[in-house]
Amino acid sequence: MAMSNFLSISLFVAFLFLNHGIEASHVIYPEFQSLAATTVQQTHRTGFHFQPPKHWINDPNGPMYYNGIYHLFYQYNPKGAVWGNIVWAHSVSKDMVNWQALEPAIYPSKPFDIKGCWSGSATILPGNMPVILYTGIDSEERQLQNYAIPKNLSDPYLREWIKPDNNPLVFPNGVNATSFRDPTTAWWANDGYWRILIGSRRKHRGIAYLYKSRDFLKWTKAKHPIHSKGKTGNWECPDFFPVSLSGANGLDTSYDGPDKKYVLKVSLDVTRYDYYTIGSYLKNKDIYVPDSTSVDGWGGLRYDYGNFYASKTFFDAGKGRRILWGWANESDSAEDDIAKGWAGIQTIPRSLWLDPSGKQLLQWPIREIETLRGKNTQMSNKVLKTGETVEVQGITAAQADVEVTFSFPNLDKAETFDPSWVDAQKLCGQKGSTVKGGVGPFGLLTLASEKLEEYTPVFFRVFKAPDKHVVLMCSDATSSSLKTKGLYKPSFAGFVDVNLADNKLSLRSLIDHSVVESFGAGGKTCITSRVYPTLAVSNNAHLFAFNNGTETVTIDKLTAWSMNKPQMNEGLK
């Protein structure tokens, strides 16, 4: 990658000089924004997911790998457990498992961000210069795109960041100034231009505007958006990156070689889900065209079919992989969050790559998370007949990692699939874990009380269609808690595009007190649920495998580990 001398000089001058020299998506509770937590309830706090010691967090921002250190910035309220007073909190790690909290990197302080420092990305420029692009809210409630650079490059943790006075870089000229945010990681092309995307909307049409720059300082809007789609509402947190057509290796965002496809991900403000398509980037026209196999819009593919939003990827140059971060908000009420003293987690970082079919992405928890595995138990060749349940004993079921492969003799008993069943979540709500089927439902009962008054089932159900079998994967929070007031307890679900020639289905679930993060069929379909049991907590939580289908199911192999607790942001104020 090359960078113009003007860019090098301009950023270097800005660095030297400063070194010496609304349309918001969140429900706003002004009366609670600065109500600091006096106590922090531990019952439902996670053991190994990323979260600060207290207060509100949302979007992961600017993740990057720089000089051997992983950096994660994120939206954080240092004064309360609801959205407000947002700063860019900053944590560092050598393994993305153990985290050290630093002082906030960016906070409102300038006219161009005095009313908010919202989401954005990090780009590492040639010459090993990291730059953050972020959305600032000015006094007129306009959303502007700004940049920040490290104050001291010799600091291995990049603790302090400065905002040059030539901000903002991008004004909302000719666009909706209250829906114009979340700049992507920049990429460079051999025509000499840097490019970024910014999410927006025009009426009900979601838009990703493209901006170009030769020097990273003066940006010009392209004649046409890189992509847009009608009736999808505001596009937040766009992400755009190449994926390899061969293997699980990741590609640098600026990679321009052969054998690649592109992924465009958008977070739809209306639905609060992340959707992506796979397609081609026509650089000469600066447009992105989804493949014919990628549904564009609300019916399209998601990274995760559960509680997962505002995700961000980055290229991990240290290990040659692309890593995905996502935010899992609470499913309880604001009053509950204030009482808890905290709200929000980040999901386990996931490696992400293109499925060999070329039609979807695969995701899997980073292998470093396995260093937390402790005591384990195994089960193999265990037959589950209709209505049979078996407990997985010998581990801490409230904080566990479980991998299991199920098999079934044949698919003759699979229920007939109705073509009108296009909404997986609605189908799961109708055919839950207790509704007897043919092949399935079978899977795991996580965070379960001893007598199953509470449980969160993660399970499969197989249907037969004219040309193929259809697999439904569910993570159903309906029975997750005896508490009813203020809890959102949905039956999350997605279809799994998997070949059942071997009559097998695999499942991995990361269970962590108030979150169940599940990966079906090797990461083809992922679902994250937030749940708040009242009985199935701590040592009173249990884990079961079950089968409520008429076809016998065999646990070919199940391995479950108790998960240890890493260092997690102690001392953050």
The structure tokens listed for 296 are 């564009």
Compute how many other C-beta atoms are within 10 angstroms of the C-beta atom of residue 397.
Answer: 25
Catalytic residue among 59, 138, 215, 401: 59
Nearest to 281 by CA among 311, 320, 243, 229: 243
What is the mean pLDDT of the segment spanning 548-552? Answer: 98
Distance CA 383, CA 403 (A): 17
Q: What CATH number matches the domain at 5-32+42-365, 3.40.1390.10, 3.40.50.2000, 3.30.9.10, 2.115.10.20?
A: 2.115.10.20
What is the mean pLDDT of the segment spanning 166-181? Answer: 97
Domain 368-563 has CATH 2.10.109.10: no
Residue 59 bears catalytic tag: yes
For β-strands 415-416 and 456-464, DSSP reports them as parallel
What count of residues does the chain have?
573
DSSP 414: P
pLDDT at 126 over 60: yes
Distance CA 102, CA 79 (A): 16
Compute how many other C-beta atoms are within 10 angstroms of the C-beta atom of residue 230.
Answer: 12
Distance CA 344, CA 58 (A): 6
Distance CA 521, CA 498 (A): 7
Element housing 424 (H / E) = helix 424-430
266-321 pLDDT tens trace: 999 999 999 999 999 999 999 999 999 999 999 999 999 999 999 999 999 999 99
Q: What is the pLDDT of residue 20?
A: 36
432-477 pLDDT tens trace: 999 999 999 999 999 999 999 999 999 999 999 998 999 999 999 9
Triad 451, 454, 460: Cα angle to 5°: 100
**What residues does each domain of the chain span?**
5-32+42-365, 368-563
Beta bridge partners of 261: 243
Distance CA 75, CA 84 (A): 10
What is the mean pLDDT of the segment spanning 534-557? Answer: 98
The structure tokens listed for 381 are 């060749």
What is the mean pLDDT of the segment spanning 242-249? Answer: 96
Q: Is the pTM of this model over 0.75?
A: yes
Distance CA 335, CA 554 (A): 44
